[in-house]
Structure 1
């Protein structure tokens, strides 16, 4: 189906932060397959682990025990502080699981159907019908109505007063779902004070605090999960993208008030958490710990942001440079989609979201030297674009 406006390039192979196309041209990957390839391309440990696992066992289904899945669940529980994990194949599926969990939580608590979830403006939770209803992009939602919007209450992002305002008028509310760092929404960051108060408020109300870490999780912001910067623990976390370093895997983690809500028959998946994808994710987490990639994301991300700010701070048309770790956005005062093709021609892979925000999501192995190349290729393009 014609569902993608693809760029005029096809890649044949990669190594680290570098990709090569069919003509042999070299590119610096500052997108990592949309925050997926945290270990870069063709990481030897990942290649070996996938190859060896494929030679042992690829799939049996969740009708049976899966040792690799159990090991991965244990590791994610240790890193997050949450007790239960459901594995699936994508971020949208992880968020679907979270929404179902919130509905069942409300039903078990009140005995009544119709639990509602507070979601945010500019949020992005997926393209399935359910997650699209929770998503705040009118462009993505257009043409797919009717959506099950009655299950969601949308409020402004980073605005505690808006949540408090609807709390007393909507007794069906049972959960809040948000990203601590909105990716598709334009690299918008929730303040630590807001997240701490939201955690307190959800506990007071008996609501689930559900955090979508599909893009911001697995080390991208310099911690395992973006919410950890605020020193809180949610009831539900959703993961995907960087968890498998390119192998499709998603996860919905539950703890606190959400623990024990789901039981046999409440949810399921044919492929989720199979031996191959679980081994890829385990290897990803092992390499990240061994090579201190969280610290690298924080260090190199800070260096990259400082370099961009230094070169662009006085350029007319640059509104703001924001983000955390290796999840950065450069907001311009006008639509800038054409920069994607211009960067491609300059040997750089970037992305533009919300029409006017240049989004950078490079592999977590990015070095200071790589960051300098990124700056050297991107800054002139932005300056030239804004001078037109």
Structure 2
């Protein structure tokens, strides 16, 4: 079942479809009267088309699927061509055929738009060529007057539809990108407000409790098994403090001075930090770089960003895997890609990545990627994550290049 949220409302849809079915039925009745109430084979075929299309349109909201949409589109296209061939003396039907490719757009079926457009051009031009080859002046009076003009105008309408469709598609992609950016900004803003409200209040009592536990831990009179419990409590309090520090790093404005960071040098430092961690599972990290690039960032935040991303890649990888880190320059931006062939993520998991407290790790907090997004946004960068279950993940981060004369 496909979500049909593109419908304005079920009530409005039913009203429009009801009017459409009424018009088709009225046309059927008028033709029956014009034919002196004779029931011909063509009238029966038209009746079957009208009934079939009406049934499909009525049950469409409840049975929405890719195949169902395709069936409606193909059936309606066939109906329009049938009507044109049945009434070749009515030029309005040729105009109707010209706009057949609009039907897939209404049903948001992108692939079928191109198929319908190609078939529409092929079939219609074939019909016009057939009419040119045979003397059909008596029944194709409008087309017969100017076959070349009809063909040229028809092709012009198809090109116009293609242009409008490509423009519509670009607008839709831009809107999706904007919506994703708004959602991400809202996540960061909400998390920052939450952090500012509660982090300090939680941190103060934890510090007091931690101090008393450390004091009693050094008491030589306590048995060793009790001290082990104290050690466990201190470790858990340290975890809590780490989470609070992550929250605060999202909430508080940065007071560090802007630096010009060498991407080459900084990435080698990050790899030195993580190579030992990766080699525990014999995971190898490869770095490919065209040349060195400079970006505006702080070295601390740069390391924090790529340590988080590379750790995620390492933890998602399998024993003996290789992680590729590729650095390239595109126009005025540097692009850093981290590619692993690990477990990957589903589409639903990708959509939730970066949400507070959502993590694929057993003891993860979900704040690591939130911090990464915050750092990237702060320095006017972008991040794109592609992943597929069982095939791995590709994370692409870009930053504006600093040009130093």
TM over 0.5: no
Higher relative contact order structure (alpha carbons within 8 Å, sequence separation ≥ 6)? 1
**Greater percentage in strand:** 1
With the length of structure 1 as denominator, give the TM-score of the two structures. Answer: 0.24
With the length of structure 2 as denominator, give the TM-score of the two structures. Answer: 0.23
**Greater percentage in helix:** 2
